[in-house]
Amino acid sequence: MPVVVVATMTAKPESVDLVRQACKKAVEAVHQEPGCQLYALHETDRTFVFVEQWADADALQAHSAAPAVATLFGTVGEHLDGAPDIKMLQPVPAGDPAKGTLRSA
């Protein structure tokens, strides 16, 4: 069963460009990881939001231990305004299933 994650991190004002570049580099690497169905980066103001979908809990577990994650957090750690916020989400069926549910690629 797919696992959906939303991860949010806020850059310090002087570090927005550095954090953006590190996030973009991570996206390229993570897209190659087994079980990655969606790893999309968005931003607003100084906050970067990853919307993720993994094939299953094992794929998410492998991702959390993957080099791309270690590199990302090693690069941006001191440039963040607080700790990242990572949430695993459960779907709530509602409305049209074609529009109300994330689907695998």
Q: So where are the chain's domains? A: 3-89
Predicted confidence band at 52 (pLDDT cuts at 50, 70, 90)?
very high
- Measure Cα distances from 17 to 14, 22, 48, 68, 90 in Å: 8, 9, 11, 19, 32
- Report helix, strand or coil for 51: strand
CATH architecture of 3-89: 2-Layer Sandwich (3.30)
Write down the pTM of the prediction. 0.91
- State what percent of residues in the chain have pLDDT above 70: 98
Given a cut of 60, whether residue 105 has pLDDT beyond it is: no
